[in-house]
């Protein structure tokens, strides 16, 4: 049988000054689902236009060839749960950030957080609540989209919705009216608040299905199932999904039955609840790192002191979710810990029992599909946006290799260029 040789000629027309073309030649490509070897990826302007055998890709014209020996190319990572408007709580408590830091100060910090996130290879974030900074997340997103500042593409939630009496800051004389970290609403008023939040720029609606509530600060379900259904129906009629913060089994159950797309945290989830999630097609965003970081801020030293109950419970619930084959998103609740250190969550996911390649799928194609942006990003695939991360090593074997960032492209723009390739 004759060997069939197919050559793909790649060229960028030289008459248009703004055109860019990159031919990336790594050792391995993780395409969002599986590992490929011996292939190259051609980027033209903002799109991935070809993936094929390296030997068959022949560049002509103004194409910049980037040889990446020892490297793995993968889709730009997607952070499933960020708060770009927060910074680590061991620097400033959440209460003080919400109540004492001005929105201007918080936005100034957020621009730095956005840049650090992008430079770490996270080209998209789902930012789940401004935590008292109004719609500053919407403004931040627009500044990034307009090219004013570097940052990841953002899916934003705006203010988020909480039941009256449930959310913080708390702990003050009841004569004070305290500015809250989210918007309270109840009953029929929920319809108006959902529509208002969408009007002000929310891409997704975030609701707190439970929260630490009452003077003993015990986690309790907040909204009734009918209220949650009203939120989901109102958001869905505009084509938007709802994500639910839930850490109690009952809060999770109500949110699942109401039709939310993802459950955030899920600490109190039982095997039965996770089986219900699997049945209803609801994904879990476990946010392992957040609770782990908070325990450390409270004085726990991992490895020397016994694990606090909360840390144990998180591991148990996460493993129950895996056992029930729930779709797992990757999202760390970054902001509780440092922006740019997003890989920490992916490392925790492997440490607690998920295979590295499955974690990479979560942080790329799974997140993209669950967040409704699979037609835009999350895979190395022709006609998708050129959101690309190249790292030294093989993160399908050692997830921490994601920290060895060599190249970051978003929308085809080269933001990080460690090989120091001269661009044309």
Chain residues binding Zn ion by CB under 5 A are 333
Q: Given the complex with Zn ion, which of 262 and 392 has the nearer CB atom?
A: 262
Q: Given the complex with Zn ion, which of 28 and 113 has the nearer CB atom?
A: 113
Q: Given the complex with Zn ion, which of 333 and 387 has the nearer CB atom?
A: 333
Q: Given the complex with Zn ion, which of 194 and 285 has the nearer CB atom?
A: 285
CB-closest chain residue to Zn ion? 333
Shortest Cβ 97–Zn ion spacing (Å)? 13
Q: What is the 3-state secondary structure (H, E, C) of the chain?
A: CCCCCCCEEEEECCCCCCCCEEEEEEEEEECCCCEEECEEEEEECCEEEEEEEHHHEEEEECCEEEEEEEEEEEECEEEEEECCCCCCCCCCCHHHHHHHCCHHHHHHHHHHHHHHHHHCCEEEEEECCCCCCCCHHHHHHHHHHCCCCCCCEEEECCCCEECCCCCCCCCCCCCCCCCCCCEECCCCHHHHHHHHHHHCCCCCEEEECEEEECCCCEEEECCCHHHHHHHHHHHHCCCCCEEEEECCHHHHHHHHHHCCCEEEECCCCCHHHHHHHHHHCCEEECCHHHHHHHHHHCCCCCCCCCCCHHHHHHHHHHHHHHHCCCCECCCCCECCCCCCCCHHHHHHHHHCCCCHHHHHHHHHHHHHHHCCCCCCCCCCCCCCECCEEEEECCCCCCHHHHHCEEEEEECCEEEEECCCCCCC
Shortest Cβ 333–Zn ion spacing (Å)? 4
**Cα 375 from chain centre:** 17
Q: Given the complex with Zn ion, which of 181 and 340 has the nearer CB atom?
A: 181
Q: Given the complex with Zn ion, which of 160 and 190 has the nearer CB atom?
A: 160
Output the six-digit token pair for 1. 């049988």
Shortest Cβ 117–Zn ion spacing (Å)? 15
Q: Given the complex with Zn ion, which of 80 and 395 has the nearer CB atom?
A: 80
Shortest Cβ 132–Zn ion spacing (Å)? 13
How many angstroms separate the Cα of 97 from the Cα of each of 61, 94, 167? Answer: 52, 5, 15
Strand 283-285 relative to strand 262-265, pairing: parallel
Shortest Cβ 332–Zn ion spacing (Å)? 9
Q: Given the complex with Zn ion, which of 333 and 401 has the nearer CB atom?
A: 333
Q: Given the complex with Zn ion, which of 166 and 392 has the nearer CB atom?
A: 166
Shortest Cβ 129–Zn ion spacing (Å)? 6
CB 368 within 8 A of CB 76: no
Shortest Cβ 183–Zn ion spacing (Å)? 15
Shortest Cβ 234–Zn ion spacing (Å)? 22
Q: Given the complex with Zn ion, which of 75 and 129 has the nearer CB atom?
A: 129
Shortest Cβ 421–Zn ion spacing (Å)? 37
Shortest Cβ 338–Zn ion spacing (Å)? 15
């Amino acid at each position: 049988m004759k060997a069939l040789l197919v050559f793909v000629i790649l060229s960028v027309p030289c008459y248009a000054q703004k055109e860019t073309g990159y031919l990336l030649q790594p050792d391995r490509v993780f395409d969002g689902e599986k590992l490929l070897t011996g292939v190259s990826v051609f980027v033209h302007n903002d799109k991935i236009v070809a993936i094929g055998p390296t030997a068959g890709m022949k560049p002509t014209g103004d194409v910049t060839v980037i040889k990446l020996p020892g490297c793995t190319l993968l889709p730009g990572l997607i952070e499933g749960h960020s708060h770009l408007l927060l910074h680590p709580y061991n620097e400033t408590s959440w209460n003080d950030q919400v109540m004492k830091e001005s929105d201007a100060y918080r936005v100034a910090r957020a621009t730095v957080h956005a840049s650090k996130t992008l430079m770490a290879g996270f080209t998209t974030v789902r930012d789940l609540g401004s935590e008292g900074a109004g719609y500053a997340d919407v403004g931040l997103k627009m500044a990034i989209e307009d090219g004013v500042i570097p940052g990841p593409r953002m899916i934003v939630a705006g203010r988020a919705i909480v039941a009256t009496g449930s959310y913080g800051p708390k702990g003050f004389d009841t004569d004070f009216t305290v500015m809250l970290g989210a918007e309270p609403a109840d009953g029929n008023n929920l319809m108006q608040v959902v529509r208002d939040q969408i009007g002000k720029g929310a891409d997704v609606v975030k609701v707190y299905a439970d929260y630490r509530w009452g003077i003993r600060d015990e986690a309790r379900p907040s909204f009734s199932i009918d209220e949650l259904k009203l939120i989901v129906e109102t958001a869905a009629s505009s084509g938007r999904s709802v994500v639910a913060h839930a850490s109690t089994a009952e809060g999770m159950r109500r949110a699942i039955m109401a039709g939310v797309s993802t459950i955030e945290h899920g600490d109190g989830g039982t095997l039965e609840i996770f089986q219900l999630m699997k049945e209803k097609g609801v994904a879990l965003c476990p946010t392992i790192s957040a609770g782990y970081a908070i325990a450390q801020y409270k004085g726990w030293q991992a490895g020397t002191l016994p694990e606090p109950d909360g840390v144990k419970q998180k591991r148990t619930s996460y493993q129950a979710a895996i056992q029930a084959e729930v779709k797992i998103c990757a999202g760390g609740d970054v902001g509780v810990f440092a922006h740019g250190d997003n890989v920490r969550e992916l490392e925790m996911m492997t440490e607690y029992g998920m295979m590295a390649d499955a974690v990479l799928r979560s942080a790329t194609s799974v997140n993209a599909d669950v967040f409704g942006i699979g037609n835009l990003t999350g895979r190395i695939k022709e006609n998708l946006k050129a959101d690309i991360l190249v790292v030294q090593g093989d993160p399908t074997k050692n997830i921490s290799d994601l920290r060895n960032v060599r190249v970051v492209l978003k929308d085809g723009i080269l933001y990080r260029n460690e090989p120091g390739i001269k661009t044309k």
